[in-house]
Structure 1
């Protein structure tokens, strides 16, 4: 629909959710608006519209809790297996969520680093070595962002690389969701049905209602731990200063296996997915800024008991799938995490354990399918389609880093027309 007004006519009303660019903001709105181009505008043209950085749609509440399926299992494991303090973990995740929402103006997620978390849980790294891992991975991400290396790398990559990694990650999340849902099949099935019924209802926070229903059913059936009797207090994180030996231990054990996964999933694929989901908005999300914000967050959080964390394409798909479109969703989940960390302390573990695995699995299933669909593998043909499917299969069978290393040479050959199939 054209936005141009003919002579003598009043200008058309702006599309839903936006207002004319340059419109004065309310005095209490301290955050700049997000510029938005209409469909008739060329990519380089100055945006005609803008939207508020924080939206008021009730579906933002649903989207805020859409990524708990990738958050809670890692956090529970870190607290129970290696003795991480809940206060430092929840506080750092919450503050990073608040910053990400305010800085980007989009539902950019904050997630535990998966490969590093797997090492932490299997090798039982002590909290000081985990802090060393956070410091080293944060420093490396900061260097890659400041020097512009990550941006140059992203520009050189064929489109099939991001699509293959995105498709594989989405299918892997969906499979993990099915596995978690099957922990209590009847409960997982009921939550999936409820999510299906609520997805089309724009006024209802589907993910939040589904989680509440899952918790209620888990309590009634006795398949979840009972609701804890909480006593609130003021809890502050303890300072952790690792020795050089512990920094090296964290670097070798956790940072080295994590860095390729972060650069592919948390940076390159997240930036690509953001451009797909928000093509008309002029936002700050790109490979360089994602590297910088993840690096700074880890450097600041590690000495206070923070867990290695980054952004992630799966988390973005989850937030978006359940209704998040603005900074409101990350602000909501960030405030919840800060409150849990500061006022619940060690009782935070008992609080998050009441969420049944089956309910988390249902959320993961839907967001994984959404992420896989967004890869749009059907836009590729012949050799390029083969590369996309191969990288997706390798991501599931091995991991995204291995898929990147093995698939990149084939992607380059396919792009140059030298891979004939």
Structure 2
């Protein structure tokens, strides 16, 4: 049994084989189902020791690498749609940098300065004239029209040298600024600003698979590295070759071997090792007290109490009790140093046990009238016919012999003690052999 009830004499009275925590009365442990549920609510740890927020800052999530304790910062949730650097059709992986300067918002690709970006705070289209098709449209009075200057054939020649206008009235540079090319729509004279030649492959904002196109993506350099902002949300640092080396990271795997881990047991190895160990039933420690092999013990989990165990005897022991008419008293046997085994039951001393070695001496040492001793005797007061096995009180017996005169004139004396059993039939005052039985 894995669970037994032991009485005060160290005897097992009953046993059972509970298979659950509750069956063993264990309340400070989770069942397998409870532990599995708790495990399912938590992610597995893969080559890390900690994951959390540095200094409890919500914008500083991190993991700590198990191999060397290195802190690996994580990217917080951006909260906006970032600009993807390259990766589109025909795009290169040049480093795109957009950031604020003393002159306004500037852009750079690799080491090429692209200059200022134009936006509402540094350019007002209302300060520019709407596109028109005549000098009058611009209220210009100090110039001639083409009709006033050129002949028809010359005008046709000049027009032939120019591109046709498709739904636009003007194309040019705002205020002669090379950074402000534009076209004016013919239908409503709305200005459409054009992108100057970048000199590099730009990052396309949105329109990729799963990407939104409405958010403003901002990427720029900071004192802590390349950072990104979407609308007004700071996405934190971007990872690139100078601050992240994927070669230093392990590929995802599902085994220890996939990560080259050799100082840990696999689940199968752990299960095999566990299967070779006994289960602990309400104990915390099993071992030798003071490293003494003669003192094996177990420590009970509930109160820390030490319970010593019986070392291997090396022989087949005598079973204490359990037979017909036997009680559960404590029986002790021990050598008395004088050639005999001595018996004690509980606190009662039963003296020496008789064996082949001490039997002759014990018999010789019985003495006259001792229990077990023999005597030739006759009755004092006749009890009529008595067969062998009959019991006579010692107070009615005289020591005698086969001589009819002995015990009368030659009186050997009264036996006077105990009860004696006749070993021969007699009647009247005949002599026979008696043995004291009590």
Of Structure 1 and Structure 2, which has the larger fraction of its residues in strand?
2
Work out which of the two has the higher radius of gyration on C-alpha atoms and give 1 or 2. 2
State if a TM-score over 0.5 links the two structures. Answer: no
Provide the TM-score with structure 2 as the length reference: 0.14
Provide the TM-score with structure 1 as the length reference: 0.14
User: Larger relative contact order (C-alpha < 8 A, sep ≥ 6)?
Assistant: 1
